[in-house]
Amino acid sequence: MSQEEYRNEERRPAQHRSAGHGGKRAAPSHPEGERRPAPRRRRKKRLGAWGVLLYIIFVLGISAILAGVGWMWANDVLALNKAPLTATVQVEEGDTVSDVADKLKEAGLIEYKMVFKMFCALTHVSGQAGEEDAKITPGTYQLDTDMDYRALVSSMGSSSASRMVTTVTIPEGQTEAQIFQLLEEKGVSTVEQLEDTAANYDFNFSFLKGVLPLGDAKRLEGYLFPDTYEFYMGEDPVSVLNKMILRFDEIFTEQMRADIQASGHTINDAVIIASMIEKEAKKADFAKVSAVFHNRLDQGMLLQSDPTVHYVTGERRMALRQSDLAVDSPYNTYKVSGLPVGPICNPSPEAINAALYPDESYVAEKYLYFCSKDPSTGELHFSRTLEEHERAVAIYAPLWKAYDEERGM
């Protein structure tokens, strides 16, 4: 290269020079003489007057709706502006807060079940009715729309004045099954609950130690004392049965207990005998019938008490059939020696007293038999010997058959 060529090469623009040994040239980033365009700025959209107005209306509308809902909820929680209404609500064993909310809504006492459940959650009302720590107790309650949520919950507690009470009179001589049916009809408890409790709950009374074992629904037969009681509707079955057993414990005096012990018998023996006396006779003859039973026991004779067969068959025939006499049961005293396995009813205090203190003259004169003279009056005929008894049966048996026929038996 000549010196002139060298100078010309020096004066060339840099972009026309070789980029290196590869012989490629760098392309210009922009065409010569052309500027890069400046980025456009986006214009912010501004709400017009109508947009602002609509936004304000929307916010106010939502606020009004929320305020209205809140006001309606508050009215329900605080029992404001409600029409007067009184309703009866039955809370069952095991009911949850959700179950109670359904019943209150159905009765017209609350409007919003969800709000009631939220209130219960915030005030720690939970669990199932009947559980130890539950604030809501099984029962029947009289509630009204003047009660706010707090009052409704407290009114369904165990000590509530709103809990409905019913008076029940247990007739003398009824069986456990009849008593349970009566209690169910009065709304105190159900037959199923009472039977389950009678069979499986271990009541803490010493005289129950000799009765039928746990698991047998008839183990309380004889100890449900006939009297007039006040029960809560829907009351805990343990409480219901305990009231009647406690009453039995109260009437059985210390003197009676001492006399039973001295006789070599147990309280259970006395109750079994009393239950048969109750079913065999009217009160005027209780002590005489007791004397016959005691005399037969002392001589090792079968008691042959018709009501023990009635207890098994469920039919009260005056003239027993051979099939009745042959029924296989530990209650059938035509087959079982000594006392039946348990009481056959819940006897009166007079029958219990007669079982403990039989007629001394009938004991001394060794009366061993009796039979019905007139089924319509309950009058009895007593005999000392079998021959006397058979003569009496021959006389009165036609009356028994006629009595059964009149009742379709």
pLDDT in tens, 233-268: 888 899 999 999 999 999 999 999 999 999 989 999
pLDDT of residue 364: 97
pLDDT, one tens digit per residue, over 182-226 is 999 999 999 999 999 999 999 999 999 878 899 998 999 999 999
Which residue has better confidence, 75 or 123?
123
pLDDT of residue 70: 56
pLDDT (mean) for 85-110: 89
Taking a C-beta distance cutoff of 8 angstroms, is the pair 281, 172 a contact? no
Residue 373 main-chain phi, psi, to 5 deg? -90, -40
pLDDT (mean) for 56-72: 59
Q: Which residues contact 357 (CB under 8 A, 6 or more apart)?
A: 259, 287, 290
Cα distances from 291 to residues 177, 183, 216, 350, 366, in angstroms, run 29, 35, 31, 14, 8
User: For 42-46, 291-295, 372-376, which range has the lowest pLDDT when averaged over its residues?
Assistant: 42-46
Which CATH fold would you assign to the domain 75-155?
A: Dna Ligase; domain 1 (3.30.1490)
AA identity, residue 138: P
Which residue has better confidence, 374 or 40?
374
Q: What is the share, in percent, of the chain residues with pLDDT greater than 90?
A: 52
DSSP 163: B
Taking a C-beta distance cutoff of 8 angstroms, is the pair 110, 152 a contact? yes
Q: Which residues contact 296 (CB under 8 A, 6 or more apart)?
A: 302, 303, 368
CA distance 355 to 343: 12
pLDDT of residue 26: 47
**Residue 182: count of CB within 10 angstroms of its CB:** 16
Taking a C-beta distance cutoff of 8 angstroms, is the pair 245, 227 a contact? no
pLDDT of residue 79: 75
**102 pLDDT more than 50:** yes
pLDDT (mean) for 115-123: 86
pLDDT of residue 19: 43
pLDDT (mean) for 301-307: 96
pLDDT of residue 222: 97
What residue spans define the domains of the chain?
75-155, 165-250, 265-406
Burial bucket for residue 191 (CB in 10 Å: 0-12, 13-18, 19+): middle
| Statement: the pTM of the whole predicted model exceeds 0.85 | no
**371 pLDDT more than 80:** yes
13-17, 77-81, 159-163, 348-352 — most confident range: 348-352
pLDDT of residue 52: 60
User: For 9-13, 60-64, 148-152, 285-289, which range has the lowest pLDDT when averaged over its residues?
Assistant: 9-13
pLDDT of residue 15: 45
Residue 38, classed as helix, strand or coil, is: coil
Cα distances from 385 to residues 16, 273, 402, in angstroms, run 154, 22, 26
Cα distances from 7 to residues 10, 13, 16, in angstroms, run 5, 13, 15
pLDDT of residue 120: 86
DSSP 337: S
